[in-house]
Structure 1
Amino acid sequence: MSDYPPEPFTRRRKLTRASDIEIKPVTWMWEDNGAGRIPAGSQVVAAGREGTGKSSFGIWMSAGVTTGTLPGSLLGTPYDVIYVAVEDSWEHTIAGRLKAAGADLDRVWRLDVEVSEDEISTINLPYDFDLLEESITEYGVKLVVLDPLISTIGSSVDTHKERSVRTVLDPLARMADRTGCVMLGIAHFGKAAGTDASSLITGSGAFKNVPRAIFGFAVDPEDGSRVMTQTKNSLGRTDLPSLAYSIESTKVQTTAGGYAEVGKFVFGGEAPRSVEQILASSSSDGDRTQDKLDAVDFLKDALDGAWSKTTDIQEEAKQVHSISERTLNRARKGLAVVAKKFPTGKDGKGEWWLSLPEQSANLPAPEPEGKGATESDSEGKGATPDAVTSEDCQGANQDRVMELWHPGTLAPDPEPIDDSPELVADVVPIKRTRTVKPKCGWCEKAFTPVRQAAYCSKNCRQNANRASKKKTGE
């Protein structure tokens, strides 16, 4: 034996001809009606919102592997499973679910790490890779469930950066390939809306890019049914049907002699709708609800303290706030807005006006168009036609515009048009000009071809409402 320490390994190249690589067929650990869903020796993710049953799917897989009943390459031969549960209790949840699913409990291993003589912790990846692979190899494990996957990743890894997450997932995928063991990670959806289940997984894009198979889980709000859709199948068919499943309540006997009630994952054939369709439906319902709330806020502001002409409300809602007529009508119905006809049109023609129900009884009727101060009224106030100047007309028009202007609409012109039916003596007609750019009544930013009035006002209004609700603690 040499007394000298071994020389440090030096990185060096390794080239292999493609002709020297043995081409092998894909071995499917789980097949469904002859179609491969999970390839052996791969990394897989099961993702969904809370309470959809994705952890129960991991239990179902564990039961099939430990009893040799899972359709696929393991059928007929039972193998061991390692289950790493971080969020659920083994005594009250995991062990009972495994028993209800029919798993061979002698073949299911709970993996923890002793960090000191008095402390036991969950595995920490990538630091505990060697411990995990050693356990897989020693007991011939064919399935490792990490529930949830993100909780087994060490705090030094930034789970929102792909490059950082790949320092864990890439070696985990290589370990799966070396050992022939499937690494099933349970993942949660984030709060963002969307229809692509893979893109909704919390964290960086690596959680959807590295795995060879991804399953999405959802509960259909229309009838409460549960659906599983395979949203990624890198080595097999991408058009596999979605599967319906249920979580059945099952009683299992406890060690103390009593019974515990747990959930059991049961497939129920093909599902009529996919997870994507359910998410799209839920997202659409949420958008419609938010649009109605925005329309309600608009009506409350626009109708506060006065009757408002229906046509004006409809035009402002559509042009300034991008509120459709259908959404506006839904909001009107929800608020029980009062609609009343007044003879305010030309020659006393009737026009429809709106008001809030709690204010309509005390509001004065709107005056007909064109009704205003007469010549005698002006004389009574000490004004004569000869004394009226162009500045007076301009000021009167400006006051009228400011009176009619509401926040959320375009700012009034600094120099409005003098639209009097007759020119007063010695008054020079004022030409309509714009000395300032129109701007949003909420954020006070000038409109541009990119920043359109309707887009800005709607979004600024929503932001202002949200900020107000947040401030008041709603």
Structure 2
Amino acid sequence: MPDTPDIPPPFDQPAPALPEAPTHHPGDCRCDTCTLIENDLRAKEEGPQRRLTLTPASSISVRAVRWLWEGRLPLGSFTLLAGREGIGKSTVAYTRAADLTRGRLEGCFYGEPKNVAVAATEDSWAHTIVPRLMAAGADLDRVFRIDVTTAEGFDGELVLPSDMSSLGALIDSHGIVYILLDPLISRLDGSLDSHKDGDVRRVLEPISKLADQCGVLIEGLIHVNKSTGGDPLTRIMASRAFVAVARAVLFVMISPEDEGVRLLGQPKSNLGRTDLPTLTFTIESERVAVDEAGEPVYTGKVRWLGEIDQSIADALSDTDSGEDTRTAVAEAADWLEGHLQANGGVDESSSIKQAGKRAGHSKDALGRARRRLKITCDSSGFPRKTWWSLPGTQSDDQSARPSLESQPTAPTAPTAPTAPTVLPLEPLGETS
């Protein structure tokens, strides 16, 4: 007999019971079922969850580096300006901000005045910051103080990362291109430990991302510690994450050869050169206004002196050197000045070093002495020779140097037609 096919039960038969939904066991149960229920409830309470996606590199458009300050500070980055307290790093920062408001800063905004914003707590705006901006010739209508009002209606301070989204909105609405955090440490959430890499990165990496997304430069001022050695990056206080996250680091210090002179160098630049010349400057007092009571208002002003080929690392090593080294440099400077004066103010570099060696001065001491005396170096002729000249001698007394016309020159190949010269834009004048 053929098999009888399966016949479904009549519809009036009761359907099989569904499995019971898992229930939370009483007490502090840690079984798999209870864990799943707790995770599901927590997810519903927290709302949308984080998710991961993959973006192919081929879909990302490449961009050239744009420099807020040509060759030194890249736009769209987080950077540091480090140095001891009281040596002029804030004055340098406000001078740069002033130049931006007038279109005077060499870089992508040269000739185009821009807006800047400042979050500062150590210095008074009325007594210090505004006078410094005035001394630097800033357009004060383009400099904005970042003010904070708490949810309770009280005055507060900028706190990162809590105020990150609000800061981004201000950047867009006011056309800000440069934000100065003075000092940086005071802007970090108080619950974070500035000596722990993880805590610091949780703040700085979002700041760096904000700078990139908004196309601005965010610069933090930071102090240095009391360590010694030639590496300026190890002297920056707190966690190494500050240096690691920053795309560029500028460093201000007192010149080891002249306590009245300051040095501004660049020990780190991820997107540019690190062999840029070190800038020298002094801070001079200047009267900028008379207050409502008729009292004169004075402040410090940067006066740029020029460039030197000594790196910040070398300058720090010189600072750490002992009294014997400083004495040797002073003696070499006295000898070098006398030697050049006896030779009409100019002599060939190799001759100087040979004569100095016979007089008992090392090559290193002569090099430091040259920088101390602000002796200029100029190469010319074929084969090329380098000449050392006392200040003013090269321009005022060319007779001391052998004529270049009497020296053989290297043959030159035919040159291509010369391109038309493009003159730089003139700095903008003061506005009323």
TM range (shorter): 0.5 to 0.7
Determine which of 118, 127, 130 is the counterpart of 1:92. Answer: 127
1:109 matched to 2:148? The reply is no
| Contact 1:53 1:247 survives alignment (8 Å) | yes
The aligned counterpart of 2:50 is 11
Bigger relative contact order, structure 1 or 2 (CA pairs below 8 A, ≥6 apart) = 2
CA distance in structure 2 between the aligned counterparts of 1:192 and 1:156, rounded to whole angstroms: 26
SS in 1 for 2:65: coil
Deviation at 1:129, TM superposition (A): 1.0
The aligned counterpart of 2:216 is 181
Determine which of 235, 243, 264 is the counterpart of 2:301. Answer: 264
CA distance in structure 1 between the aligned counterparts of 2:257 and 2:66, rounded to whole angstroms: 38
| Contact 1:48 1:197 survives alignment (8 Å) | no
SS in 1 for 2:305: strand
CA distance in structure 1 between the aligned counterparts of 2:241 and 2:180, rounded to whole angstroms: 18
CA distance in structure 2 between the aligned counterparts of 1:125 and 1:23, rounded to whole angstroms: 29
Determine which of 322, 326, 332 is the counterpart of 1:285. Answer: 322
Structure 2 portions without partners, runs of 5+:
1-43, 327-432
CA distance in structure 1 between the aligned counterparts of 2:152 and 2:51, rounded to whole angstroms: 41
CA distance in structure 2 between the aligned counterparts of 1:170 and 1:89, rounded to whole angstroms: 29
SS in 2 for 1:273: coil
The aligned counterpart of 1:217 is 252
**1:150-174 superposed Cα distances (whole Å, 9 cap, x missing partner):** 1111111110011110011000000
The aligned counterpart of 1:57 is 92
Determine which of 156, 166, 174 is the counterpart of 2:191. Answer: 156
- Taking structure 1 as the reference length, the TM-score comes to 0.57
CA distance in structure 1 between the aligned counterparts of 2:83 and 2:49, rounded to whole angstroms: 45
The aligned counterpart of 1:76 is 111
| Contact 1:243 1:271 survives alignment (8 Å) | yes
CA distance in structure 1 between the aligned counterparts of 2:138 and 2:144, rounded to whole angstroms: 12
The aligned counterpart of 2:336 is none
CA distance in structure 2 between the aligned counterparts of 1:287 and 1:119, rounded to whole angstroms: 58
**1:128-182 superposed Cα distances (whole Å, 9 cap, x missing partner):** 1122112111101000000110111111111001111001100000000011110
CA distance in structure 1 between the aligned counterparts of 2:164 and 2:52, rounded to whole angstroms: 25
- Taking structure 2 as the reference length, the TM-score comes to 0.62
SS in 2 for 1:71: coil
Structure 1 portions without partners, runs of 5+:
290-474
Alignment-mate amino acid for residue 151 of structure 1: S
SS in 1 for 2:314: helix
The aligned counterpart of 1:355 is none
The 5-angstrom pairing of residues 343-382 of structure 1 reads none
CA distance in structure 2 between the aligned counterparts of 1:75 and 1:9, rounded to whole angstroms: 46
CA distance in structure 1 between the aligned counterparts of 2:101 and 2:94, rounded to whole angstroms: 11
The 5-angstrom pairing of residues 14-413 of structure 1 reads 14-31=53-70, 36-115=71-150, 119-224=154-259, 225-256=261-292, 257-285=294-322
| Contact 1:227 1:271 survives alignment (8 Å) | no
CA distance in structure 1 between the aligned counterparts of 2:242 and 2:300, rounded to whole angstroms: 27
What fraction of aligned residue pairs are identical, expressed as a percent?
42
Alignment-mate amino acid for residue 129 of structure 2: I
| Contact 1:228 1:274 survives alignment (8 Å) | no
Moved over 6 A (4+): 286-289
How many residues align? The count is 281
Deviation at 1:13, TM superposition (A): 2.5
| Contact 2:277 2:309 survives alignment (8 Å) | no
Q: Which has the larger radius of gyration?
A: 1
SS in 1 for 2:171: helix
